Chains A and B, each alone.
Chain A
Amino acid sequence: MFRGGWVENLVKNLLLYIILTAVGLLFALPFLWTISTALKESAQIWQFPPRWIPNPFQWQNFPEALKIMNFLLHLKNTLIVVFTSLVGVLFSCTLVAYGFSRFRFGGRNLLFIVLLSTMMVPPQVTIIPIFIIFTKLQWVNTFKPLIVPAFFGYPFYIFLLRQFFMTIPYELDEATIIDGGDYFTIFWRIILPLSKPALATVSIFHFIGAWNDFFGPLVYLSENTKYTLAVALAAFRGVYWTYWHYLMAASVVVALPCLLLYFFAQRFFIQGITLTGMRG
Chain B
Amino acid sequence: MPWSWYRPRTCIARREARFGYLFISPWIIGFLLFVIGPLLASIWLSFTDYELFTPPVGIGFRNYQELLFKDPLYPLSLFNTVYYVIFAVPLGLIVSLLLALLVNQKVKGITVYRTIYYLPSVTSGVAISLLWLWLFNPQLGLINYILGKVGISGPGWLVEPKWAKPALIIMSLWGTGGAMVIFLAGLQGVPTHLYEASELDGANWWQKFRHVTLPMISPVILFNLIMGLIGSFQVFTQAFVMTQGGPSNATLFYVLYLFRNAFLLLRMGYAAAMAWILFLIVLVLTLFQLKFSSKWVYYETKLEGR
Chain B residues whose CB sits within 8 angstroms of the CB of A103 once the complex forms: 16-17, 19-20, 23
Q: Is B132 an interface residue (CB 8 A)?
A: yes
- Is there contact, CB below 8 Å, between A128 and B275? yes
- Is there contact, CB below 8 Å, between B122 and A278? no
Interface residue tally on B, bucketed by range: 35 or more
The 8 A CB mask of A73-92 against B (1 = contact, 0 = none) is: 00000000000000000001
The answer to whether residues A37 and B275 also contact, given A29-B142, A230-B125, A255-B127 and a CB cut-off of 8 A, is no
The 8 A CB mask of B101-128 against A (1 = contact, 0 = none) is: 0110101001101011111101111111
- Is there contact, CB below 8 Å, between B185 and A234? no
For B17, give its contact among A21, A37, A105, A122 (CB under 8 Å): A105
Interface hub of B27, B34, B103, B237 (most chain A Cβ within 10 A): B27
Q: Is B272 an interface residue (CB 8 A)?
A: yes
- Is there contact, CB below 8 Å, between B189 and A128? no
Q: Is B306 an interface residue (CB 8 A)?
A: yes
B residues within 8 Å of A by Cβ? 1-3, 13, 16-24, 26-31, 33-35, 37-39, 41-42, 45, 52, 99, 102-103, 105, 107, 110-111, 113, 115-120, 122-135, 139-140, 142, 145, 174, 181-182, 185-190, 216-217, 219-220, 223, 226, 230, 233-234, 236-237, 240-241, 255, 258-259, 262-263, 268, 271-272, 275-276, 278-279, 282-283, 286, 300, 306
Instruction: Pull 8 A–B residue pairs with CB atoms less than 8 Å apart, ordered by A.
Output: A17-B107, A27-B119, A122-B279, A132-B268, A214-B125, A233-B127, A270-B185, A273-B181
The 8 A CB mask of A225-247 against B (1 = contact, 0 = none) is: 00001110110010000001001
Chain A residues whose CB sits within 8 angstroms of the CB of B1 once the complex forms: 104, 170
Least distance between B216 CB and chain A CB atoms (Å): 5
- Is there contact, CB below 8 Å, between B119 and A31? yes
Least distance between B207 CB and chain A CB atoms (Å): 15
Q: Is A60 an interface residue (CB 8 A)?
A: no
Majority SS of interface residues in chain A?
helix
Q: Is A96 an interface residue (CB 8 A)?
A: yes
Supplied contacts A103-B19, A105-B17, A266-B115, 14 more A-B pairs, CB within 8 Å: A20-B113, A50-B145, A96-B24, A125-B39, A125-B42, A126-B38, A151-B30, A152-B31, A173-B3, A177-B3, A233-B127, A234-B129, A255-B123, A273-B182
- Is there contact, CB below 8 Å, between A237 and B130? yes
The 8 A CB mask of A250-275 against B (1 = contact, 0 = none) is: 01101100110111001001100110
The 8 A CB mask of A106-142 against B (1 = contact, 0 = none) is: 1011010011001011111111111110010000000
Interface positions of A from 1 to 47, Cβ below 8 Å from B: 13, 16-17, 19-21, 23-24, 26-31, 33-34, 37, 45-46
The answer to whether residues A152 and B181 also contact, given A19-B102, A27-B174, A122-B279 and a CB cut-off of 8 A, is no
Least distance between A215 CB and chain B CB atoms (Å): 6
Q: Is A208 an interface residue (CB 8 A)?
A: yes
Interface hub of A124, A230, A280 (most chain B Cβ within 10 A): A280
Total A residues in contact with B, Cβ cutoff 8 Å: 99
Least distance between A175 CB and chain B CB atoms (Å): 9
Question: In the complex, what distance in Å separates the CA atom of A28 from the CA atom of B131?
Answer: 12
Chain B residues whose CB sits within 8 angstroms of the CB of A64 once the complex forms: none
- Is there contact, CB below 8 Å, between B27 and A30? no
Chain A residues whose CB sits within 8 angstroms of the CB of B34 once the complex forms: 126, 130, 149, 152
- Is there contact, CB below 8 Å, between B140 and A33? no
Report the nearest A residue to B18, measured CB to CB: A105
For B29, give its contact among A21, A152, A244, A280 (CB under 8 Å): A152
- Is there contact, CB below 8 Å, between B42 and A128? yes
Report the nearest A residue to B189, measured CB to CB: A279
The answer to whether residues A98 and B23 also contact, given A173-B2, A248-B130 and a CB cut-off of 8 A, is yes
Question: In the complex, what distance in Å separates the CA atom of A144 from the CA atom of B298?
Answer: 45
Q: Is A212 an interface residue (CB 8 A)?
A: yes
Question: In the complex, what distance in Å separates the CA atom of A66 from the CA atom of B156?
Answer: 30
- Is there contact, CB below 8 Å, between A96 and B282? no
- Is there contact, CB below 8 Å, between A259 and B29? no
Chain B residues whose CB sits within 8 angstroms of the CB of A233 once the complex forms: 124, 126-127, 130
- Is there contact, CB below 8 Å, between B122 and A92? no
Chain A residues whose CB sits within 8 angstroms of the CB of B111 once the complex forms: 266
- Is there contact, CB below 8 Å, between A248 and B134? yes
Least distance between A7 CB and chain B CB atoms (Å): 17
Interface hub of B3, B111, B220 (most chain A Cβ within 10 A): B3
Chain B residues whose CB sits within 8 angstroms of the CB of A120 once the complex forms: 226, 230, 282-283, 286
- Is there contact, CB below 8 Å, between B237 and A215? yes
Chain A residues whose CB sits within 8 angstroms of the CB of B255 once the complex forms: 122, 124
Question: In the complex, what distance in Å separates the CA atom of A265 from the CA atom of B223?
Answer: 25
Chain B residues whose CB sits within 8 angstroms of the CB of A29 once the complex forms: 142
Chain B residues whose CB sits within 8 angstroms of the CB of A135 once the complex forms: 52
Chain A residues whose CB sits within 8 angstroms of the CB of B128 once the complex forms: 255
Question: In the complex, what distance in Å separates the CA atom of A211 from the CA atom of B130?
Answer: 17
For A109, give its contact among B27, B263, B306 (CB under 8 Å): B306
The answer to whether residues A278 and B130 also contact, given A153-B30, A233-B124 and a CB cut-off of 8 A, is no
Chain B residues whose CB sits within 8 angstroms of the CB of A280 once the complex forms: 186-187, 189-190, 216-217, 219-220, 300
- Is there contact, CB below 8 Å, between A274 and B185? yes
Chain B residues whose CB sits within 8 angstroms of the CB of A45 once the complex forms: 140
